[in-house]
Structure 1
Amino acid sequence: MPETKSDSQRVREAIEEVRREGYKLAAVYAVIDAAAVALVVNLLLTVLALDALPAEVSVPGVLVGLAERVAGRQFGPVRIATSTVIGAGLGLVVGVGEFVYRARRPAVELFERANPEVREALRTARDAVEDGAESAMAVRLYRDVLTRLKQTSSVGLLDGKRLAIPMVLLLLASVLTVQVAVVDLQLGGGGVTGGGGGGVDDEFGGLQDGSEVLGDPEDVSAGDTEQNVSVGSSGAGSNEGGESPASYDDGGFAGDRAVESQQAGFAPDEEIEDADLIREYNLAIREEDDEE
């Protein structure tokens, strides 16, 4: 037959339960504050982009190996953003420190302030249990306290105003972190940059040297195959009905020099490595000609 617990034992267990609720309360505050600090620090370091800090750090091989054994697959070298590591480290320090600080505060006193209807009776019962009192008066006190504790709640231990500040910071930091990740906003290193728009830098730095784009000039000999060139003289945009070269002179367009046709020669075939660069170079030349 199981032994029946005495009223003093039940009061002692109730007091231990109140203390466990105090540890839970400390854990709630610690986790929320640690998460808020980690996100805020990560956001600030990401936006500031300090030159003194490397962009990423390597995860120690021991941790990678442990993760590979748990997951049953190979990950290879793993790198994490420095801002994330620093934010997580500071958040961990803040969380542990706050948990230790709050866990050392007497939970029973906090519970009494949150439930004033049992303050005096619970305090008297706790002192009686610690003294080992088992008198008739103590037994009646224990039973009265146990009955009142059934109507109390540990929710009152939470301070809504105290939790509101880190919760708001946590929410704002989460939203801003997502936006910064999408826009790639950086205030340090080279000024404000935004990579999310996918735009092209419109700042024109001037034309480049033609030899850097098209290569070094070469001496090319003239070709030896003659071919007539027909120049139309019927007006702009009309190239139909090509005429002989002599019609250019007869139309009054000849100058002091005679126009002669000549077969052009070509250097050995070369592969154009950057067609886009050449196209942009030609467009820039045309824009300058239009402006003039």
Structure 2
Amino acid sequence: MAYRLTQYAHGGGCACKIPPGELEDVVRGLTGPPPAQPVGELLVGFDQGDDAAVVRIDGGQALVATADFITPVVDDPSDWGRIAAANALSDVYAMGGRPVVALNLLCWPRDTLPFELAAETLRGGMDVCVQAGCHLAGGHSVDDPEPKYGLAVTGTADRERLLRNDTGRAGLPLSLTKPLGLGVLNAQHKATAERFEQAIEVMATLNDAASRASVAAGIICATDVTGFGLLGHLHKLARASGVTAIVDSAAVPYIDGARQALRGGFVPGGSRRNLEWVRPHADLSAVDAGTALLLADAQTSGGLLLAGELPGVPVIGELVTRRGEHTIIVR
């Protein structure tokens, strides 16, 4: 019997994230006294909603910690495992770090789906960790009505060369290392079973090379583009940095087939929620409704959004001095 994993989940991948506005309401105020005799100083925590937590440790190093798991975005379990692992590791790369060790996070409907598919999913995740030079050791699993898979990842970084979302400044170009359109193509795959090889390859590709190049180039401001879409993550970066982002809509790259998927009505609910959240903070008057949706499209294992420029990476805009209440202006 052939199983379509995407049919066992209510949504796909990072499009299932809790809407950003609702999430911020939940975590607002979740601060308290520091722990007694902590091992190291917390450098990045709740405050700016960055990609991972960072703690200062000895020897000029920082400890980077994150966790991420997703529902299936594709029907093939090995591909899903690869994508989920690359997506989780991306949070460490987005901070300028290198993953050191990861733990599996597996939720599985044991009475519905055979464990052979779970094993293939875990194998896909292990293959990507091997590629990343990251140990994969154990983890945790639960019986769950929906399949979910991801990793808890610990890495290290040079604490003086972190990539953060609150260090952008006016005059810096904005670069994007992977094309957009993953959300709409994943939605079409879920609805039709049509396989999009380029989308799978984009999602399974690590952000390690882009991260290393960014640190080497002296870039200090970055985030990755995942479930909140380009506009959502850019809004958080611009808000945290106290600047406005200008986006050149014609310069933004898309995966082949993304606009056709949009015209076909294959839009994740998460993409619409992203746009609704960002719209009060963005000037989108220069683009049509479809382009605005694609810019807000919920990505799974997307690229790095950099406040800086790298050779061969598209420049999609720039940061400027804050302009009123707008954190984003799309042209």
Q: Tell me whether the two structures share a fold, i.e. TM-score over 0.5.
A: no
Higher relative strand content: 2
Higher relative helix content: 1
TM-score by length of 1: 0.20
